[in-house]
């Protein structure tokens, strides 16, 4: 029997794929990349037409030695790395490092790790696609040129350890620009009027919102304008001018692609982009499901596409018809228009088997794996279902030529909402009086005026940043999570309560990049570069031509900046904490395990303290401040700053609100506050301002 060797990237896939293949197949893993550009040097021969110099990654010598032994035993080698540019590049590097013979080596790809998909890929082997390899190689070289040319400049002029990446610098500029918008924002006053009206034969009053006059919409800018309108409305006759009943169809959502999965997981599961991708990778690589064996639960997780295979569509139609009824099966499913990304060759992120419902696999998954899988399954099932149908009733009321409007919505057919309601806003369920017919006269009971102010743009969250990067064409599915992780790791940005804020260090780096390297941080330039990489992948542009056109301008800009820039000092953030040894105010420093307090008198005074983050809640036991702490293993909890004199601690975040029933402190659980008293059990919703925070 011929001996076949299948090489995958991740050891987690080995166990899954081995179960699908016969005894004459050996499966092993490369553990990701085996070759890369050297860390200690540029690794690109600029004088020799930008020829890259690849070396074996430190620590991968033993992996390659083990792979060479397996290759010698094999009659045929299948390179089965991930089905994207990076996976193609890893296969090419493996073929080079292992000196594989092209006659008995081939490339296979599968979009899902299931028995049928893996076996089908073995029937359709191909050569390594060098266009894909070149596209990935171009990205790597461009990023290396930017990083290794600009980063030393930042080290010399600002501080060591900084970095400037092609995509990360553009992302940092977007965040900084938003912060500038927020800082420059001036709130504008406006007023709203709500009419409380009575209808003949109806006990309950109805409410209608002021919307303008017979000529159109009116915005009430100040109290003088408000009083002028209220004066005219005081003795007005309120009469129903129009009643319009119509049906509204809400289309089902598209299945997930990488960016939308990251956005929804951030919004609804509070996952970082990095955590979402890690969990999705686990679901893709394979899980041992009780009663079904080991298999990948979702399709490939790095994709720009919302396309679904015909086979998956038929399976979804059959499942929906059986479990929900034929009425719920969509006649024709929606597809996304206008996407020209190369990675549209992949399918959307979906369950590999729709019959593996979240309930069936729950006991085989961790809590977070289950929550993510449930969201993916629900979204895919919903995307294959019929639209929801609403009946909407809109009533226009006339009052001295001013107009008030009220509306109500009734769900006639839930359609896809039977499985997926995450994005669904609660409809206006106001009950409309049966007396609201055209010409009906209403009685004014009250006019309620409220003052409002326009709000500044929202701070970026990871979800909204990913959405913006995608809309601008900056980066690709595989780059969103590492870009955000790098910005956080370099401390250019700070994450607090989901919001992303720019640090002083980030502002300095962004200012240097904008002034000295404007093209690198330009949104349009970065997006155009992504298009060029797509052209390389298509084979219509030579990869070296892209680098040749890019490098001279970068090199000149670096030389000019070296002469122009002066040394910039970043001051340490001074705290209120006083050094116990010398009495100076301690400053916040960054170490390998996070922030800590240190005496500014170093090296004369070497005093340090842990940095305790106050949460603005008094200790229920002694009244001192509660602080966020961590156990030795890194688990967060809340304790008293007076420790060890006070031993209060709580795993859940305490609230300033006391229980109205027993007077005990309450803790936050989701959008609710729960009494911490064991015998009480009182529950209430968090105040709206706390939910938004």
Active site residues: 300
- Continuous segment of H or E residues that includes residue 371: helix 367-383
- Continuous segment of H or E residues that includes residue 310: helix 310-323
For the four alpha carbons of 70, 72, 73 and 75, in that order, the dihedral sign comes to positive
Whether the bond between 154 and the residue before it is cis, its omega within 30 degrees of 0, is no
Return d(Cα 242, Cα 436) in angstroms, integer. 9
Task: Please report, for the chain, how many H helices and E strands are present, in that order.
Answer: 19, 31
Which residues have a Cβ under 8 Å from the Cβ of 476 and sit 6 or more positions away?
A: 302, 304, 341, 343, 530
Return d(Cα 172, Cα 334) in angstroms, integer. 35
369: number of Cβ within 10 Å: 18
* 36 CA to centre of own chain: 28
The answer to whether the CB of 354 falls within 8 A of the CB of 380 is yes
Closest CA to 107 of 82, 86, 136: 82
Which residues have a Cβ under 8 Å from the Cβ of 443 and sit 6 or more positions away?
A: 197, 198, 199, 238
Alpha helix segments (H runs only) across 21-162: 61-73, 85-97, 115-123, 130-157
Instruction: Classify residue 328 by its DSSP letter.
Output: G
Return d(Cα 107, Cα 122) in angstroms, integer. 9
Which residues have a Cβ under 8 Å from the Cβ of 112 and sit 6 or more positions away?
A: 284, 296, 298, 299, 300, 352
């Amino acid at each position: 029997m011929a001996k076949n060797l299948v090489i995958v990237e991740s050891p987690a896939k080995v166990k899954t794929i081995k179960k699908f293949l016969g005894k004459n197949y050996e499966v092993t893993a490369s553990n990701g990349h085996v070759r890369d550009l050297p860390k200690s040097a540029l690794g690109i021969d600029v004088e020799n037409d930008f020829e890259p110099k690849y070396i074996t990654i430190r620590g991968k010598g033993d992996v390659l030695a083990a792979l060479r032994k397996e290759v010698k035993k094999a009659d045929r080698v299948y390179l089965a790395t991930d089905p994207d540019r990076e996976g193609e590049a890893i296969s090419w590097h493996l073929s080079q490092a292992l000196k594989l013979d092209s006659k008995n080596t081939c490339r296979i790809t599968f979009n899902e790790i299931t028995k049928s998909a893996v076996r089908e890929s073995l029937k359709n082997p191909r050569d390594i696609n060098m266009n894909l390899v070149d596209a990935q190689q171009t990205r790597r070289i461009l990023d290396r040129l930017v990083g290794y040319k600009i980063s030393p400049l930042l080290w010399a002029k600002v501080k060591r350890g900084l970095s400037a990446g092609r995509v990360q610098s553009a992302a940092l500029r977007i965040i900084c620009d938003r912060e500038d918008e927020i800082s420059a924002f001036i709130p504008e006053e406006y007023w709203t009027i709500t009419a409380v009206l009575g209808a003949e034969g109806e006990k309950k009053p109805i409410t209608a919102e002021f919307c303008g006059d017979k000529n159109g919409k009116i915005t009430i800018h100040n109290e003088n304008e408000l009083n002028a309108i209220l004066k005219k409305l005081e003795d007005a006759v309120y009469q129903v001018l129009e009643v319009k009943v119509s049906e509204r169809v809400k289309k089902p959502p598209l299945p997930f692609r990488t960016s939308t999965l990251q956005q929804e997981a951030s919004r609804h599961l509070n996952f970082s982009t990095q955590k979402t991708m890690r969990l999705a990778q686990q679901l893709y690589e394979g899980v041992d499901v009780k009663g079904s064996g080991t298999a990948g639960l979702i399709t490939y997780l790095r994709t720009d596409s919302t396309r679904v295979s015909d086979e998956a569509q038929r399976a979804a139609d059959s499942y929906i018809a059986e479990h929900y009824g034929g009425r719920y099966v969509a006649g024709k499913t929606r597809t996304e228009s206008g996407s020209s990304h190369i990675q549209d060759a992949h399918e959307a992120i979906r369950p590999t088997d729709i019959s593996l419902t979240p309930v069936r696999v729950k006991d085989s998954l961790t809590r977070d794996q289950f929550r993510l899988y449930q969201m993916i399954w629900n979204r895919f099932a919903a995307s294959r279902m019929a639209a929801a149908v609403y009946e909407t009733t809109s009533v226009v009321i006339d009052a001295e030529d001013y107009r008030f409007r009220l509306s109500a919505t009734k769900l006639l057919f839930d359609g896809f909402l039977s499985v997926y309601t995450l994005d669904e806003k609660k409809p206006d369920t106001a009950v409309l009086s049966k007396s609201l017919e055209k010409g009906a006269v209403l009685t004014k009971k009250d006019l309620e005026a409220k003052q409002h102010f326009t709000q500044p743009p929202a701070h970026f969250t990871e979800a909204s940043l990913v959405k913006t990067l995608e809309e601008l064409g900056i980066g690709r599915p595989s780059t969103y999570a590492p870009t955000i992780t790098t910005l956080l790791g370099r401390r250019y940005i700070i994450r607090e309560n989901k919001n992303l804020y720019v640090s002083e260090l980030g502002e300095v780096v962004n200012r240097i990049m904008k002034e000295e390297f404007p093209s690198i941080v330009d949104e349009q330039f970065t997006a155009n570069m992504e298009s060029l990489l797509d052209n390389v992948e298509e084979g219509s542009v030579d990869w070296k031509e892209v680098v040749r056109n890019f490098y001279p301008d970068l090199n000149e800009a670096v030389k000019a900046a070296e002469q122009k820039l002066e040394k910039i000092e970043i001051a340490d953030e001074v705290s209120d904490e006083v050094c116990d040894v010398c009495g100076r105010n301690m400053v916040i420093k960054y170490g390998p395990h996070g922030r800590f307090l240190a005496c500014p008198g170093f090296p004369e005074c070497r005093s340090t303290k842990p940095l305790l983050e106050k949460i603005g809640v008094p200790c229920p036991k002694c009244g001192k401040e509660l602080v966020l702490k961590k156990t030795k293993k890194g688990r967060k909890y809340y304790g008293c700053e007076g420790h060890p004199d006070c031993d209060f601690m709580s795993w859940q975040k305490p609230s300033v609100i006391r229980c109205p029933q027993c007077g005990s402190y309450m803790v936050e659980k989701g959008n609710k506050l729960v009494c911490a008293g064991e015998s009480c059990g009182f529950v209430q919703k968090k105040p709206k301002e706390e939910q938004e925070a």
